[in-house]
Amino acid sequence: MSERKCVLIIDENLPLGMVANTAAVLAMSIGKLCPDMVGRDLFDAAGKVRRGITTMALPALKGNADLLRDLREKLQEYEPDLIVVDLVGATRTTRSYEEYAEVLAETPEEKQQYLGIALCGDKKVVNKFSGNLPLLR
């Protein structure tokens, strides 16, 4: 696990609620793709089950729309070895996954608005793309 790193890079210009939603969607998607990141269920002092949470840090870093667009293009050559999940603005205007799929398929790349990107993979590769980005605060 120590040779692997995961980060979220989110457009810092989004309203707070959208930042939180973007982080949640990206983290959930990474959790699905990297299930070994989620620890086993635990028990508290009263013997109650506490569901497993992430076993590794998942920092939220800040970027902007231009950085995210540029980053998404550069990341393509590293896939599928590097897990990349992106969230685009079509999620704000569609009401179902099917509608989202249609809009995504019909929208040219240059018209996509990136809200955030999650990266998970080799620590050196992830650091190459995110190592100079500040934490989103």
Q: Which residues pair with 114 in a beta bridge?
A: 88
Query: pLDDT digits over 40-63, tens only?
Result: 999 999 999 999 999 999 999 999
Q: Which residues pair with 43 in a beta bridge?
A: 49
Tell me what pLDDT residue 1 has.
47
Place of tokens 């983290």: 27
pTM for this predicted structure: 0.91
Q: State the CATH number of the domain containing residue 105.
A: 3.40.1490.10
Residue 82 lies in a domain: yes
Cα–Cα distance for residue pair 81/128, rounded to 1 Å: 14
Angle between helices 65-75 and 123-130 (to 10 degrees): 150
Let me know: does 43 contact 37? Beta carbons within 8 Å. Answer: no
Residue 55 lies in a domain: yes
For strands 83-88 and 60-63, give the pairing: unpaired
Residue 102 lies in a domain: yes
Torsion angle of alpha carbons 31, 88, 71, 17, nearest 10°? Answer: -70
- Which domain covers residue 22, as residue numbers? 4-130
Work out the average pLDDT over 5-16: 96
Query: pLDDT digits over 60-75, tens only?
Result: 999 999 999 999 999 9
Q: In one letter, which amino acid is 61?
A: L
Asked whether the predicted pLDDT for residue 91 surpasses 80, the reply is yes
Cα–Cα distance for residue pair 11/50, rounded to 1 Å: 32
Query: pLDDT digits over 72-90, tens only?
Result: 999 999 998 999 999 999 9
Work out the average pLDDT over 112-120: 96
Averaged confidence pLDDT in the chain: 94
Tell me what pLDDT residue 2 has.
61
Let me know: does 63 contact 23? Beta carbons within 8 Å. Answer: no
Residue 136 lies in a domain: no
Q: How many domains, in total, are found in the chain?
A: 1
